[in-house]
Each structure stands twice: as structure tokens, then as C-alpha cells.
Amino acid sequence: MDLSKRNNLKNEVSNLIEELSEYGKTENNGITRTLFSDIWMDTQKFLESEMVKRGLKTRFDEVGNLYGMVKGTEQATETIMVGSHIDTVVGGGRLDGQLGIVSGIIAIEKLVEEFGVPKKNLEIVSMAEEEGSRFPYTFWGSKNIVGTVSKEEVEKLVDHDGVSFAEAMKGKGFDFKNENAVIRDDIKAYLELHIEQGGVLEKEGKPIGLVNSIVGQKRFLIEVEGESNHAGTTPMSYRRDSLHGAAKMIDSIIELSKEYGDPLVATVGRLDVVPNTSNVVPGKVVFSVDTRHTNNEVVSDFISKFKASIESIANEMNLKIKIDQYMDGYPVPMDEDLINKMEKICLAKELDYKIMHSGAGHDAQIFAPKIPTALIFVPSRKGISHSYLEFTDPEDYVYGVELLKEMFYDLAY
Ligand SMILES: [Zn+2]
């Protein structure tokens, strides 16, 4: 791609990101934009006007997703879709989610300018929600598109202010999808561009990541029960110290995870101690384990080993242990043909890339089991995200947008 075209692409994307980032802007230039809030609605309306300006035919679906489409000339029953989510976490950054939407809009605009109307439909979707930051529910947008959500799952959920999901949604003029509605079968591919949210691309100096798999996430709460007692009068040999036990267990889990090596990760990020007082032997501890891998067999093997290890520590120390697994996500592979296509384009256009997995969840994992799906990563400075410090140099992300545009051309023209 010649330099002036690349500069033009870069400027248009960064200008629209700039304008969009006014919606929900926080004091330190981050963004808070949670599902069905006033600012969320204003953002979707602003985006709709930006799509219309660029010649896209827009519509909202029942549940709050916004679409913009260019109808194809020859195979108008087939759609190539691109998108990401418009919501953010509380105190989030300016790129997580919306960079993917903006890149899609600008890529479609430029393609139509250069090559006219495509053969297949090109469609951008600004998905209502992915982060789960207002209600304890994730992927509302994408799950509705592929039909893997039911009313019962969300209806009774409430936010921090006690507002129910249904109430919040209806307040913005949306409603549950008719459960007998036909699921779209025209979407032949789903593409998503997203920031990496890790530091791998930056460290390796690559502007593009081609994601081959999204990790499966498994989460546990582990309760260790001993006996609370006086810190001065209880001899060491008489104690059933739950925190000492938990400390040994945590150490064994983390050390074991290192033996497995990349891409396995394991994190203990939460620790609740009862009574959490300096002069009482701790009677109960609850700690969390979050573990992820791209291969379900490997992570399952790790889990059974760490369970055996912490159970034997509990036995030795005369402690009771309860293991509660509350999340069991499977790894999701991305479409091989699309990865091959992207590789070919990168090689032909001399775009430097890395094939990699994603350690974070994305809408792409909801689409992938149903529709051929590709996920493109662009670097994150210092790997930081879900923070106002989230940043990618437009000089870097422009390569990802270029690839997205080339993929559209390949698939729809
Ligand atoms: Zn995201």
C-alpha cells in the first residue's frame, strides 16, 4: 500500500477514535461506557450517524446491536461481517472494543471509494456489550447474533443500583429477542480487530498478531477450613492454621503451572482470610484460581494435578478443603482457512506478523463455533488494557486496519 493511502487510513481511524472517545470520557482521558447507560445510547447514535455519513445502511436489532451495511451486487445473500463491542469496563481505555468498530467502518468506506460496491454484503456491527461490567453477564451482543442466549439467563440480573437488566434495556427502547426468531444464515465470515491486551507483539516488534486460538478459562474458589484460636496460648503443634495451609497450596499451584510452561497460566488473585486479625490463628481462607490454556486436555491435566496436590496438603495439615469450579470455558480455535488467507496477504504486502493465541476472551470466540472467524491483534503499549493508560500508536495499528481491508477485498469482491 502506498504511503499516502496508509497515512490517510491511519488519520481517518485515529480521528474517529478521537471523536468517539468523547463519549463516556473520564477525568484522566479513559472511558466508562456501560451497557444501556445514557452515554452508551449516545455513543451508538453517534456511530450510526458516522455510518450514514459514509453511505452505510444502518439499523439497530432488538437487543441494542447497531449494524451498518453495504449491499452486495451479485451474492447479496452472503455477508462478510466485521465488528467488536462498544461497551467498556468502568475506567477503561480508548481502544478496547471501539478500535475494531472504527477500523471496520473506515476499511469499508475506503474499499467502496476505491473499488465500488462489493459482490457480497459488507457489514459492520457495533455490539452492545461484551465486558460484563454493568451486569454479571458477558457477550450480550455476539450471543444474540448467533442465538446462544436465553431470556432466563439475564432477565433477573441487577446492576449495582438494583436496576434489572430488563428494565435497563427497555428504558433504552430495546427488548429481548423473540426466541423463535430465525438465526441469520447469511454471515459467511466474521472478522474482528482488537488490541492484544498483552505485551507480546510490542516485545517482539511485530505490528500484527494472527490469532489461532482463544484460551479456555477455568475459575475456582477454594475454601480451606481450619480452626480459629488464640495466637498467644495455642502451641504451634496444636494449630489448624488455614492460612498457612492456603499459602502452601498457592505455592504448589503456581510452581506446578511453571512446570507446564507457556501458554498455560495460573493466577491466584483473591484471598479472603477469616477473621483476618493479627492475633488470631486464621480459621478459614477462601482463595481464587484462574487458569487458562489453548488446549483443554492440558489444562484439565493441570487441574487434576493441582487438586491432588492441595488435597494432600490439606490432609497433612488436618484442614478441610472445598473446591468450587464456577467457570469452565473451552478453548476456541479460529478458522484455519482465514488464518492462511491472512498469512498470504501479510507476506504479499510485507506486513510483519506473528501467529499467536489470545489469553483474553473476545466476541470472536462466540462467533467461531458457528461461523468462520478471524481475530487480528494489534500491539498494546506495555500490554496495558482495561485502564486509561491503554495505548497503541496509530503508526502500529494502521497495519492491522490494512490487513482487515485486504481481507474484506479478498472475501467480498
Ligand atoms: Zn474487548
The pLDDT tens digits for 293-332 are 999 999 999 999 999 999 999 999 999 999 999 889 999 9
- Looking at residue 162, which CATH number applies to its domain? 3.40.630.10
Q: What pLDDT is recorded for position 2?
A: 82
Name the nearest CA neighbour of 386 among 109, 86, 88, 28. 88
Q: What pLDDT is recorded for position 136?
A: 85
User: What pTM was computed for the model?
Assistant: 0.89
How sure is the predictor about 235, in pLDDT bands with cuts at 50, 70 and 90? very high
Q: What pLDDT is recorded for position 155?
A: 87
pLDDT average, residue stretch 388-406 = 96
pLDDT average, residue stretch 22-26 = 97
Statement to judge: residues 291 and 170 lie in one domain? no
Statement to judge: residues 114 and 158 lie in one domain? yes
Ligand 1 centroid distance, CA of 152 (Å):
25
User: Would you say 280 and 231 are in contact if contact means Cβ atoms under 8 Å apart?
Assistant: yes
197: left (phi over 0), alpha (psi -120 to 50) or beta: left
CA dist list (Å): 267 to 25, 292, 296, 387: 31, 9, 17, 20
Higher pLDDT, 47 or 152: 47
Which residues have their alpha-adjacent CB atom under 5 A from ion ligand 1? 96-97
Statement to judge: residues 170 and 197 lie in one domain? yes
Ligand 1 centroid distance, CA of 308 (Å):
35
Q: What pLDDT is recorded for position 180?
A: 81
* Domain boundary pick from 300, 328, 356: 328
DSSP string, 332-358: EEPPHHHHHHHHHHHHHTT--EEEEEE
Number of domains within the chain: 2
Statement to judge: residues 95 and 194 lie in one domain? yes
pLDDT average, residue stretch 271-285 = 96
DSSP state at residue 236:
G
Statement to judge: residues 182 and 221 lie in one domain? no
Task: Copy the grid coordinates of residue 93.
Answer: 481505555
Ligand 1 centroid distance, CA of 313 (Å):
39
Mutual angle of helices 38-53 and 98-115, in 10-degree steps: 10
Report the percentage of the chain scoring pLDDT > 90. 93
Statement to judge: residues 107 and 185 lie in one domain? yes
Domain extent, residue 96, equals 3-215+331-412
Ligand 1 centroid distance, CA of 122 (Å):
22
Q: What pLDDT is recorded for position 326?
A: 87
pLDDT digits (tens, 9 = 90+) for 132-146: 989 989 999 999 999
- Looking at residue 290, which CATH number applies to its domain? 3.30.70.360
Cα 85 from chain centre:
9
pLDDT digits (tens, 9 = 90+) for 182-230: 899 999 999 999 999 999 999 999 999 999 999 999 999 999 999 999 9
Encoded amino acid at 404, one letter: L
User: Would you say 327 and 219 are in contact if contact means Cβ atoms under 8 Å apart?
Assistant: yes
- Residue 181 pLDDT exceeds 90: no
Name the nearest CA neighbour of 62 among 186, 172, 189. 172
pLDDT average, residue stretch 153-176 = 94
Q: What pLDDT is recorded for position 52?
A: 98
Ligand 1 centroid distance, CA of 278 (Å):
41
Ligand 1 centroid distance, CA of 37 (Å):
18
- Residue 406 pLDDT exceeds 90: yes
Statement to judge: residues 143 and 48 lie in one domain? yes
Q: What pLDDT is recorded for position 240?
A: 97
Ligand 1 centroid distance, CA of 194 (Å):
7
The mean pLDDT value of the chain amounts to 96
Statement to judge: residues 283 and 386 lie in one domain? no
Ligand 1 centroid distance, CA of 96 (Å):
4
How sure is the predictor about 76, in pLDDT bands with cuts at 50, 70 and 90? confident
Statement to judge: residues 201 and 255 lie in one domain? no
Ligand 1 centroid distance, CA of 59 (Å):
22
Statement to judge: residues 66 and 33 lie in one domain? yes
Ligand 1 centroid distance, CA of 356 (Å):
17
Q: What pLDDT is recorded for position 182?
A: 86
* Domain boundary pick from 296, 328, 360: 328
Exposure class string for 61-84: b at 16+ Cβ within 10 A, else e: bebbbbbbbbebeeeeebbbbbbb
Q: What pLDDT is recorded for position 407?
A: 98
Q: What pLDDT is recorded for position 173?
A: 97
Task: Copy the grid coordinates of residue 318.
Answer: 488436618
Statement to judge: residues 373 and 307 lie in one domain? no
* Domain boundary pick from 313, 328, 343: 328
Statement to judge: residues 406 and 315 lie in one domain? no
